């Protein structure tokens, strides 16, 4: 918020509209200044930043919980906490990371800030609804945090709230469940806002197939948010009613069916992993062409594979339930569909690698993160094949292998994708450059720490180590120990990255409008952009990845 | 870790096939990516080529992976089919899971705390749960299937080698989830037949409480675990909650029986209602033996 504090000193003139070259950090019209001007803003960029600060905080809390879990698992036996406390750790870690960070993360932060800029729009379609989404998110987050301290104790069910355990535990599950319900509304509202914005507010002359690929990723994501989130909303309400009024939906002791809960939960929660990953894939599709200074390989294939993943992704939820005792026919059908969803993902990865072929590549920090994404996400995707095949799934189901696989896809994918995007658009958002040396060091620590932390989980899972275990048999000691060492390296990298970004937002060198040589519309306005984004409304933007002008202007090799 | 069941080798073959294919793809993708970043770095390759696509290449990398994953699907399914088709004449054992212990009920009614099975003979498992979802997992057999309350799942295996193998609970089930372990004991067939033909030494005293899983939650030394300790309760007054009302009750034979068969009826004050009803696992002889033991546990 560096520029914001400059502005609140009262020197900036308040004006807006064509010809205006100030920044969105300046006090807006209406005389509101300081914190109040942020809390009442309808500017998509300011709302995006408010999400960034809130979610960044929750992310760090989630990291701290993860570190504490790994510390307890350093040696067999209970060292620092008891079983119950450990069980609340992984529940909180999951709830915070999934519902407060990784699901809403990229759309709410970078989607909000970048989408209207890339489309050449002044804002999203419904700016006030956008602000409401933020408040709904904060209300849900407040409920989630309250559930930790109030009522019967911190929830200990795991983030999946499986019935009937979640119905019987005396801990404060009801409030946590309602928090997830409220957070779902924030997701739905943001999704609707983005769909309308993409349909209605593209720059004149920008057809769907002239949109940058990040917009395509957000478009596919938004549809999932709007269609799938209500299902989990209903499911959580049913769970809440069973807990409070005792209506028997899921507990067999009351005539309910626990498998029904899992079906309803995963019908949402599987598509939602694509909510986490598709926008990250969009970011990678932006970064690679810019730093290779060449057009993306297979634009339509990448755009359409996003939609294919969003579509087929609805039909594979049963692979979370291969051991619950579903009919054997249902199991092989879900297995087959699961393998089919791997194909569009594979296509994207091949297209990305091909985009680097014969490029003119600058290995800057965003590109390194993008390459890291491809490497880690490939491991995540390929370990998914072991999960998809029935006979091998039975063995690794509910083991540390799943935890490793999930972190390779979600943290290695969505998380690293967010880090890549934050570095890529940092100069645009804050008008300042991050410190390159510190960013490189942080990237190195994160890359090494990540693999040392999560790869041993794959190994111990194959050895038979179940997940959600507060304690373990001595035969699993070595991989657990290595994994814990990795968590320290990764944490050091994350802390360095955060410190560097926070410091640079305030004290970094002033950034030019287009530091990397990007072609999409956000690079054609000032850094940071003015309140209504563009001094001159962009028209006919043409091919989003046409680098001839950039190469002509800057000369080859620079 | 080497497999010890008849179908483990099949699972492992599928696993190795997927693993080798995956490593090749990962090395290919990563190798190409790193090579391009180095080879086409801006200082070495100042003039980028603008390649928008290549239909042949894109067709190849769509079709080949499709074929590959369909082969993987087939192997996975073929191995799974074997796991699901229980052979005729398999020896039946009912596995009963509860927070946080396993019991194994044999056709002759004996209940054991470990799963004793014959080597080289198929065993069919009927999987049940008394409370929440648990999952029966024996890594060495490549076997896992959930124990669902309100329904009966099944699984089977044939152990190839004698020895002891760990059973884990693989579905999170609360506080002592990671302590919910048991043992499969594979013994030679003759030994097993002898055991099944002979009399069952009904466990008594401490052994009985261990077999039934009582001591996971109830200590014998006065320390507070998930449930109240058994030490010194006999003949004393207990403060319980009955239908929401607090009352005093004498710990006698009738109270002990009720606490086992209907644990939710009189809930000891300060403890959660977690214990499943034990009627299916504990008969009147067991209850009498437990009472005798509690009388002595001062």
Assign residue A151 a region (left: φ > 0; alpha: ψ between -120 and 50; beta: otherwise): left
Give me the residue from B30, B37, B66 closest to A361, CB to CB: B37
* Residues of chain A positioned with their CB less than 8 A from the CB of B82: 391
Rounded to the nearest angstrom, the minimum Cα separation between B190 and chain A is: 30
Instruction: Measure the CA–CA gap between B210 and A127, rounded to whole angstroms.
Output: 64
Does residue B223 have a pLDDT over 90?
no
Kindly state whether residue B259 falls inside one of the protein's structural domains.
yes
Kindly state whether residue B256 falls inside one of the protein's structural domains.
yes
CATH for A154: 1.20.210.10
pLDDT on residue A9: 38
Rounded to the nearest angstrom, the minimum Cα separation between A322 and chain B is: 8
For residue A298, the chain B residue with the least C-alpha distance is: B53
Q: Are strands B123-129 and B153-157 parallel, antiparallel or unpaired?
A: antiparallel
Kindly state whether residue A35 falls inside one of the protein's structural domains.
no
What is the band of A21 on the pLDDT scale with cuts at 50, 70, 90? low
The number of folded domains in chain B is 3
CATH for B249: 1.10.760.10
Residues B151 and B209 in one domain: no
Give me the residue from B53, B84, B170 closest to A397, CB to CB: B170
Residues B192 and B223 in one domain: no
For residue A385, the chain B residue with the least C-alpha distance is: B18
Q: What is the mean pLDDT of chain A?
A: 90
Instruction: Measure the CA–CA gap between A317 and A334, rounded to whole angstroms.
Output: 7
Tell which of A158, A163, A284, A466 to mutate to test the B interface (max B CBs under 10 Å).
Answer: A466
Residues B35 and B68 in one domain: yes
pLDDT on residue A8: 39
- CA proximity to A359, closest of B55, B62, B32: B32
List phi, psi (to 5°) of A74: -55, -45
Which residues, 6 or more positions from A502, have their beta carbon under 8 angstroms from its beta carbon?
A: none
Tell me the angle at which helices B8-39 and A328-356 cross, rounded to the nearest 10 degrees: 20
CB contact under 8 A, A335 and B77: yes
CATH for B180: 2.60.40.420
Cβ proximity of A179 and A232 under 8 Å: no
CB contact under 8 A, A335 and B73: yes
3-state secondary structure of A405: helix
Kindly state whether residue B122 falls inside one of the protein's structural domains.
yes
* Residues of chain B positioned with their CB less than 8 A from the CB of A382: 22, 25-26
Rounded to the nearest angstrom, the minimum Cα separation between A509 and chain B is: 24
CB contact under 8 A, B1 and A169: no
Kindly state whether residue A267 falls inside one of the protein's structural domains.
yes
Give me the residue from A297, A466, A469 closest to B53, CB to CB: A297
CB contact under 8 A, B46 and A557: yes
* Residues of chain B positioned with their CB less than 8 A from the CB of A259: 148, 151
CB contact under 8 A, B37 and A253: no
**Signed CA dihedral, A155, A158, A159, A165: sign only:** negative
CB contact under 8 A, B149 and A299: no
Residues B80 and B96 in one domain: no
Domain, as residue range, for A293: 43-554
Q: Which of B84, B110, B129 is the last residue of a domain?
A: B84
pLDDT on residue A6: 41
Does residue A3 have a pLDDT over 50?
no
Residues B95 and B80 in one domain: no
Kindly state whether residue B107 falls inside one of the protein's structural domains.
yes
Instruction: Measure the CA–CA gap between B7 and B140, rounded to whole angstroms.
Output: 11
What is the band of A311 on the pLDDT scale with cuts at 50, 70, 90? confident
The model's pLDDT over A375-430, given as tens digits with 9 standing for 90+, comes to: 999 999 999 999 999 999 999 999 999 999 999 999 999 999 999 999 999 999 99
3-state secondary structure of A399: strand
Percent of chain B with pLDDT over 70: 100
Q: Chains A, B: CB contacts under 8 A, how many?
A: 283
CB contact under 8 A, B40 and A359: yes
Kindly state whether residue A91 falls inside one of the protein's structural domains.
yes
Percent of chain A with pLDDT over 70: 95
The 8-class DSSP code of residue B178 comes to G
CB contact under 8 A, A398 and B135: yes
pLDDT on residue B113: 87
| Rg from Cα positions in chain A | 23
Does residue A5 have a pLDDT over 70?
no
CB contact under 8 A, B36 and A356: yes
Kindly state whether residue B2 falls inside one of the protein's structural domains.
no
Give me the residue from B1, B14, B33 closest to A389, CB to CB: B14
Rounded to the nearest angstrom, the minimum Cα separation between B217 and chain A is: 13
Kindly state whether residue A1 falls inside one of the protein's structural domains.
no
Which residues, 6 or more positions from A272, have their beta carbon under 8 angstroms from its beta carbon?
A: A103, A224, A228, A229, A232
The model's pLDDT over A169-226, given as tens digits with 9 standing for 90+, comes to: 878 888 888 999 999 999 999 999 999 999 999 999 999 999 999 999 999 999 999 9
Which residues, 6 or more positions from A178, have their beta carbon under 8 angstroms from its beta carbon?
A: A143, A236, A240
Residues B178 and B214 in one domain: no
Domain, as residue range, for B34: 8-84
pLDDT on residue B115: 95
| Rg from Cα positions in chain B | 28
Kindly state whether residue B1 falls inside one of the protein's structural domains.
no
Residues B56 and B130 in one domain: no
The 8-class DSSP code of residue A10 comes to I
Does residue A31 have a pLDDT over 90?
no
Give me the residue from B26, B46, B153 closest to A360, CB to CB: B46
Kindly state whether residue A38 falls inside one of the protein's structural domains.
no
Residues B39 and B68 in one domain: yes
The number of folded domains in chain A is 1
3-state secondary structure of A296: coil
Rounded to the nearest angstrom, the minimum Cα separation between A406 and chain B is: 17
Does residue A50 have a pLDDT over 50?
yes
Does residue B62 have a pLDDT over 80?
yes
pLDDT on residue A86: 94
Task: Work out the number of other CB atoms within 10 angstroms of the CB of residue A521.
Answer: 22
Give me the residue from A87, A343, A375 closest to B30, CB to CB: A375
Kindly state whether residue B168 falls inside one of the protein's structural domains.
yes
pLDDT on residue A27: 79
- CA proximity to A46, closest of A108, A138, A119, A137: A108
* Residues of chain B positioned with their CB less than 8 A from the CB of A158: 172
Kindly state whether residue A178 falls inside one of the protein's structural domains.
yes
3-state secondary structure of A242: helix
- CA proximity to B154, closest of A392, A326, A396, A333: A326
Cβ proximity of A253 and A164 under 8 Å: yes
For residue A152, the chain B residue with the least C-alpha distance is: B272
Cβ proximity of B229 and B264 under 8 Å: no
Q: Which of B84, B113, B147 is the last residue of a domain?
A: B84
* Residues of chain A positioned with their CB less than 8 A from the CB of B57: 354
Instruction: Measure the CA–CA gap between A538 and A525, rounded to whole angstroms.
Output: 10
CB contact under 8 A, B48 and A292: yes
Give me the residue from B32, B65, B172 closest to A468, CB to CB: B172
Q: Which of B197, B217, B236 is the last residue of a domain?
A: B197
* Residues of chain B positioned with their CB less than 8 A from the CB of A385: 18, 21-22, 69, 72
| Interface pTM, i.e. ipTM | 0.89
Residues B79 and B95 in one domain: no
* Residues of chain A positioned with their CB less than 8 A from the CB of B33: 353, 356, 371, 374-375
Helices and strands (H and E) in chain A: how many = 21, 0
Percent of chain A with pLDDT over 90: 70
What is the band of A1 on the pLDDT scale with cuts at 50, 70, 90? very low
CB contact under 8 A, A547 and B45: no
What is the band of A555 on the pLDDT scale with cuts at 50, 70, 90? confident
Rounded to the nearest angstrom, the minimum Cα separation between B296 and chain A is: 31
Q: Are strands B91-98 and B182-187 parallel, antiparallel or unpaired?
A: unpaired
Kindly state whether residue A438 falls inside one of the protein's structural domains.
yes
Instruction: Measure the CA–CA gap between A548 and B272, rounded to whole angstroms.
Output: 71
């Amino acid at each position: 918020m560096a520029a914001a504090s400059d502005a609140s000193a009262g020197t900036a003139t308040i004006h807006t509209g064509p010809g205006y070259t100030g920044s969105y950090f300046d006090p807006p019209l209406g005389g509101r200044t300081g914190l109040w001007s942020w809390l009442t803003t309808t500017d998509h960029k300011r709302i995006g930043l408010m999400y960034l600060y809130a979610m960044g905080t929750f992310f760090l809390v989630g990291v701290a919980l993860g570190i504490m879990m790994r510390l307890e698992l350093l040696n067999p036996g209970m060292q620092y906490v008891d079983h119950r406390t450990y069980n609340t750790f992984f529940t909180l870690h999951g709830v915070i990371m999934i519902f407060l960070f990784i699901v809403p993360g990229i759309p709410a932060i970078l989607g909000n800030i970048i989408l209207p800029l890339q489309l050449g729009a002044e804002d999203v379609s419904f700016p006030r609804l956008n602000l409401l989404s933020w408040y709904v998110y904060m209300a849900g987050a407040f409920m989630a945090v309250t559930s930790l301290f109030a009522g019967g104790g911190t929830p200990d069910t795991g983030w999946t709230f499986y019935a009937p355990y979640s119905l019987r535990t005396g801990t404060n599950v009801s409030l946590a469940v309602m928090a997830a319900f409220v957070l779902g509304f924030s997701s739905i509202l943001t999704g609707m806002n983005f769909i309308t914005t993409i349909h209605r507010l593209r720059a004149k002359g920008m057809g769907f197939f002239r949109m940058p690929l990040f917009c395509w990723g957000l478009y596919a994501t938004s549809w999932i948010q709007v269609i799938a989130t209500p299902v989990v909303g209903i499911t959580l309400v049913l769970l809440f009613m069973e807990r409070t009024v005792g209506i028997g939906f899921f507990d067999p002791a009351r005539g309910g069916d626990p498998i029904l809960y899992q079906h309803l939960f995963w019908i949402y929660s599987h598509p939602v992993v694509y909510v986490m990953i598709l926008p990250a894939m969009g970011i990678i599709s932006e970064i690679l062409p810019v730093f290779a200074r060449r057009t993306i390989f297979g634009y339509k294939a990448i755009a359409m594979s996003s939609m294919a993943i969003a579509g087929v992704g609805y039909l594979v939820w049963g692979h979370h339930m291969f051991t619950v005792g579903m009919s054997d026919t249902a199991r092989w059908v879900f297995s087959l569909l699961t393998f089919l969803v791997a194909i569009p993902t594979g296509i994207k990865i091949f297209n990305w690698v091909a985009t680097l072929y014969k490029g003119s590549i600058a290995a800057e920090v965003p590109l390194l993160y993008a390459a890291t994404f491809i490497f880690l996400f490939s491991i995540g995707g390929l370990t998914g094949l072991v999960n998809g095949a029935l006979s091998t799934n039975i063995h690794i189901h509910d083991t540390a292998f799943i935890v490793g696989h999930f972190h390779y896809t979600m943290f290695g994918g969505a998380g690293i994708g967010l880090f890549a995007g934050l570095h890529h658009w940092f100069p645009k958002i804050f008008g300042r450059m991050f410190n390159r040396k510190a960013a490189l060091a942080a990237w190195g620590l994160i890359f090494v720490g990540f693999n040392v932390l999560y790869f041993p989980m794959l190994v111990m899972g194959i050895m038979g180590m179940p997940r959600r275990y507060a304690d373990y048999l001595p035969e699993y000691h070595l991989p657990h120990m290595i994994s814990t060492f990795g968590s320290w390296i990764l944490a050091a990298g994350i802390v360095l990255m955060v410190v560097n970004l926070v410091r640079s937002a305030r004290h970094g060198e002033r950034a030019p409008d287009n530091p990397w040589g990007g072609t999409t519309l956000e690079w054609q306005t000032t850094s940071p952009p003015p309140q209504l984004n563009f001094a001159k409304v962009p028209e006919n933007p043409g091919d989003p990845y046409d680098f001839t002008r950039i190469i002509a202007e800057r000369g080859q090799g620079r | 870790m080497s497999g010890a069941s008849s179908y483990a080798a099949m699972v492992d073959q599928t696993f190795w096939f997927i693993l080798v294919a995956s490593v090749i793809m990962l090395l290919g993708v990563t190798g190409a990516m790193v090579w391009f970043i180095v080879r086409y770095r801006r200082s070495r390759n100042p003039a980028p080529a603008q390649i928008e696509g290549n239909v042949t290449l894109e067709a190849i990398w769509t079709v080949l992976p499709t074929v590959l994953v369909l082969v993987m699907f087939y192997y996975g399914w073929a191995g799974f089919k074997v796991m699901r088709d229980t052979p005729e004449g398999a020896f039946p054992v009912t596995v009963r899971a509860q927070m946080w212990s396993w019991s194994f009920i044999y056709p002759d009614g004996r209940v054991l705390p470990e799963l004793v099975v014959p080597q080289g003979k198929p065993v069919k498992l009927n999987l049940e749960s008394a409370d929440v979802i648990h999952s029966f997992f024996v890594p060495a057999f490549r076997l896992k299937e959930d124990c669902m309350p309100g329904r009966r799942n099944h699984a089977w295996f044939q152990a190839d080698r004698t020895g002891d193998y760990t059973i884990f609970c693989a579905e999170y089930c609360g506080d002592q989830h990671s302590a919910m372990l048991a043992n499969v004991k594979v013994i030679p067939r003759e030994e097993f037949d002898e055991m099944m033909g002979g009399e069952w030494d009904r466990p008594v005293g401490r052994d009985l409480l261990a077999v039934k899983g009582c001591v996971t939650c109830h200590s014998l030394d006065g320390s507070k675990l998930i449930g109240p300790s058994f030490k010194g309760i006999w003949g004393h007054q207990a403060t319980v909650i009955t239908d929401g009302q607090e009352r005093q009750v004498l710990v006698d034979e009738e109270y002990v029986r009720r606490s086992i068969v209907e644990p939710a009826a009189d809930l000891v004050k300060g403890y959660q209602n977690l214990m499943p009803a034990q009627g299916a696992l504990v008969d009147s002889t067991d209850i009498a033996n437990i009472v005798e033991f509690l009388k002595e546990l001062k």
